[in-house]
Amino acid sequence: MLTNKSARKANRQPILRFGIAGLGGAAASMLPSIARHPGVKITAGADLREEAREKFRGEFQAEVYEKVEDLCKSRNIDAVYIATPHEFHAAHVMMAADYRKHVIVEKPMALTIEDCERMNAAAERNGIRLLVGHTHSFDPPILKIREIVRGGELGRLGMIHTWNFTNFLYRPRRPEELDTNLGGGVIFNQVPHQIDIVRWIGGGLVRSVRSTTGIWDPTRPTEGSHATYLEFLDGAAATVVYSGYDHFDTDEFHFWIGESGEPKEPGHGRTRKALRNVTDPHEEARLRASSGYGGSRQRRAILSAEQRERHHPHFGITIVSCERGDMRPSPDGVLIYDNEGKRQIPVTLGRVAPDKGRVIDEFYDAVVNDGPLYHDGRWGEATLEVCLAILRSAREKREVSLSHQVANRD
Ligand SMILES: NC(=O)c1ccc[n+]([C@@H]2O[C@H](COP(=O)([O-])OP(=O)(O)OC[C@H]3O[C@@H](n4cnc5c(N)ncnc54)[C@H](O)[C@@H]3O)[C@@H](O)[C@H]2O)c1
């Protein structure tokens, strides 16, 4: 890394050199935010797929590797963004930490609390910064809502409701993504976003969880839905609901703006229909891979940093109730409904679409300026604890108390 001292001498911002591990869908959607950060240079990438490595080498004039370990060994990176499938997160984070590389790991942090503990121990032992994200708790309107709650202008927080209805289960999947034991289903894949949102706004300390989960399609035998009630230590409550069965779409309640902030055509049931003719799991896995970086189906919206119409990303509908008013993210800011009526607080758009820039900002500041890391490994572990408690509460049909929660330190 061009250090603070040498950068100051040269009158330049310190440069953090990034390696990308796993060049799939998550990386494709994060790359614009990494590449556009003024203090970051992308210098290496690793993936099992040759087409992804070749495209990456051409686009970034970067080193490419098949194995994540070879990437972690490189002397030309300071930090690694790990976006391999979740079952590899623990091993890849520990590998990067042991080579003294700072890490951003995609959600979910891991599949067990024991793995999270080992990842946190590796980060602490090696003195590296570990951030768990991207999750939608970084969306600028969610950050603004948290700021208003903390500021106390609407009184004490009472309730948070976050509901999301999508087509998640019918997007092409690898077989393991339809097996809960291997990290499949919405609880490991989508619910971490929801839990991070409610923990971020509610202060972090969840006391207990009661949940019912749904496995409604025998051809896709993993959780596709849940209805969960959370209570925070200070008495605030949250309901968290998800359905990935491609029937109702909550974007209908969000002015038909999609998850990444893009205008969206209504299409209830379209994804399920498109998958009807795909009966072979290998063909489905091939389709899945082709939507990753360098694949033939990589989304044009992700490739284009200059969309004509841009709004904030979001994750379904979130309504936050304080004693003297309610709030919700809107496409361009935060809507407030209080004793005076309804008003919007505008929130500035990020550098690129899809906007995941706040993740890089928090990480860069932590690594380069020794700033605070809010979404650190302990935070990620606490979010995973809630997700695991959802599965357990549904299985055992009872309320589950938590013991790994940490407070939001913002
Ligand atoms: N934050 C978000 O909004 C978001 C969105 C999508 C995915 N994700 C997360 O990102 C992770 C990856 O998901 P995805 O949708 O990009 O999956 P994906 O299948 O599209 O991409 C994974 C990539 O990793 C590569 N890979 C697999 N095993 C590897 C290994 N051992 N070494 C090197 N490369 C390997 C694959 O070839 C593939 O290109 C998951 O944990 C997922 O939860 C996060």
CA separation for the pair 407, 410 (Å, rounded) = 9
Residue 386 is predicted with a pLDDT of 98
Does residue 183 line the site of ligand 1, with CB under 6 A? no
Amino acid at 350: G
Does residue 187 line the site of ligand 1, with CB under 6 A? no
Over residues 322-329, mean pLDDT: 98
Residue 89 alpha carbon to ligand 1 centre in Å: 10
Residue 278 is predicted with a pLDDT of 87
Residue 102 scores a pLDDT above 80: yes
Residue 277 is predicted with a pLDDT of 86
Give the containing element (helix H, strand E) for 207: strand 206-214
Does residue 107 line the site of ligand 1, with CB under 6 A? yes
Does residue 106 line the site of ligand 1, with CB under 6 A? yes
Among protein residues, the one whose CA lies closest to atom 1 of ligand 1: 134
Neighbours of 396 (CB within 10 A): 9
Does residue 85 line the site of ligand 1, with CB under 6 A? yes
Tell me the pTM.
Answer: 0.95
Structure-model confidence comparison of residues 295 and 131, the more confident one: 131
At 114, is the pLDDT very low, low, confident or very high (cuts 50, 70, 90)?
very high
Q: How does the average pLDDT of the chain come out, rounded?
A: 93
The pair of structure tokens assigned to 68 is 């994540």
CA separation for the pair 369, 114 (Å, rounded) = 30
Structure-model confidence comparison of residues 270 and 378, the more confident one: 378
Instruction: Read off the pLDDT of residues 210-266 as tens digits, 9 standing for 90 and up.
Output: 999 999 999 999 999 999 999 999 999 999 999 999 999 999 999 999 999 999 999
CA separation for the pair 141, 161 (Å, rounded) = 15
The pair of structure tokens assigned to 63 is 């080193």
What is the domain class of 4-135+356-375 according to CATH? alpha beta
Neighbours of 159 (CB within 10 A): 14
Structure-model confidence comparison of residues 6 and 324, the more confident one: 324
Q: What percent of the chain has pLDDT over 70?
A: 95
Q: Which CATH number fits domain 137-353+384-401: 1.10.3720.10, 3.40.50.300, 1.10.1740.10, 3.30.360.10?
A: 3.30.360.10
Residue 303 is predicted with a pLDDT of 43
Q: Which atom of ligand 1 is nearest to the CA of 24?
A: 21
Among residues 308, 310, 311, 343, the alpha carbon closest in space to that of 325 is found at 343
Among residues 87, 272, 94, 120, the alpha carbon closest in space to that of 188 is found at 87
Give the strands of the sheet with 341-346, arranged side by side.
341-346, 333-338, 325-330, 317-322, 157-165, 237-243, 225-232, 206-214, 400-401
Does residue 356 line the site of ligand 1, with CB under 6 A? no
Q: What's the residue count for the chain?
A: 410
Q: Taking phi first (over 0 means left), then psi (-120 to 50 degrees means alpha), and beta for anything else, what does residue 284 get?
A: alpha
Residue 30 is predicted with a pLDDT of 94
Looking at 5-9, 60-64, 80-84, 105-109, which range is the least confident one?
Answer: 5-9
Over residues 21-28, mean pLDDT: 94
Residue 90 is predicted with a pLDDT of 98
Over residues 390-407, mean pLDDT: 98
Residue 1 is predicted with a pLDDT of 62
Instruction: Read off the pLDDT of residues 283-320 as tens digits, 9 standing for 90 and up.
Output: 888 888 887 788 777 754 444 545 568 999 999 999 99
Residue 99 is predicted with a pLDDT of 98
At 340, is the pLDDT very low, low, confident or very high (cuts 50, 70, 90)?
very high
Does residue 95 line the site of ligand 1, with CB under 6 A? no
Instruction: Read off the pLDDT of residues 185-194 as tens digits, 9 standing for 90 and up.
Output: 999 999 999 9
Among protein residues, the one whose CA lies closest to atom 8 of ligand 1: 26
Instruction: Read off the pLDDT of residues 47-76 as tens digits, 9 standing for 90 and up.
Output: 999 999 999 999 999 999 999 999 999 999
Domain boundaries, the chain: 4-135+356-375, 137-353+384-401
